[in-house]
Amino acid sequence: MEATPLLRPGFADPVIHAQGTFRMLLDAMSRPGSLHRLDMALEPPRRLAPATAAACLTLLDHDTPLWLDPRADDAEVWSFLRFHCGCPRAESGSAAAFAVVTGALPPLTDFAQGAHEYPDRSTTVIWQVEEVTAEGPLLLSGPGIQERASLGISPLPAGFKEAWRANRAAFPLGVDLIIAAGKTLAALPRSTRLED
């Protein structure tokens, strides 16, 4: 018989910490390329970085189907998220309101793109990476950016720039990315352009 995984605690102060993380996520989405660091202690399941877990604890609920990539998809992670968030499991990225990707980033077209009548029905991807910095090869422009911003994501998959440009070209359809590394959060909303 398989042992039940140990259930890890969520936010120490669920209301205050969820509100603080939500403000960080709003700021990250409204100012693409800006970095935001969690200031609370959080010890999530080993496959989730604290920033990934904080985003999940803040955004997920019983009305938000979640898809986990194969690297994140284990009993401990599901027990943690189901207990603290109550989120149902989506069988594919295209059926998910949110997705957590901790390994290789799938094609962005694998996720729900929204519809012209309801562009908000797309998937928000929480992409866990090793490092995210304010300096890097991605030059950003668009809403929320005064002139240009730069962003470094490590590891940056081959073909990411082309995939993001295709995602941006479909605006107002397309996915939004929340980028999580350790205790740091950043975001790339679908309205953000990548410059050459």
pLDDT attached to residue 9: 81
The per-residue pLDDT for range 26-60, each reduced to its tens digit, is 999 999 999 999 998 898 999 999 999 999 999 99
pLDDT at 18 (0 to 100): 93
3-state DSSP call for residue 149?
A: strand
Burial 9-26 (b: 16+ CB within 10 A, else e): ebbeeeeebbebbeebbe
pTM for the full predicted model: 0.94
Read off the pLDDT band of 5 (50, 70, 90): low
14-191 fold: Rossmann fold (3.40.50)
Is residue 190 pLDDT above 90, yes or no?
yes
For 171, the token pair is 């605006």
User: In the chain, what percentage of residues exceed pLDDT 90?
Assistant: 87
> In the predicted model, is pLDDT for residue 3 greater than 60?
no
Largest CA distance in the chain: 58
Give the C-alpha separation, 42 to 96, whole Å: 25
Select from 50, 70, 84, 179 the least CA-distant residue to 126: 179
Please compute the mean of the pLDDT values over residues 160-165 and round it to a whole number: 96
How sure is the predictor about 11, in pLDDT bands with cuts at 50, 70 and 90? confident
CA nearest to 25, candidates 39, 35, 13 = 35
- pLDDT digit string, tens, across residues 57-105: 999 999 999 999 999 999 999 999 999 999 999 999 999 999 999 989 9
Q: What interhelical angle do 50-59 and 75-85 show, nearest 10?
A: 40
Distances (CA, A) of 40 to 13, 16, 141, 173: 9, 10, 31, 34
pLDDT in tens, 102-123: 989 999 999 999 999 999 999 9
> Distance (Å, rounded) from C-alpha 109 to C-alpha 100?
15
pLDDT at 1: 45
The pLDDT of residue 156 = 95
pLDDT at 73: 95
Q: What is the pLDDT of residue 7?
A: 79
Give the tokens for residue 48: 């989730």
**Amino acid residing at 189:** P
Q: Quickly state the pLDDT bin for 163 (edges 50, 70, 90).
A: very high
For the chain, give the mean pLDDT.
94
Mean pLDDT, residues 144-149: 92
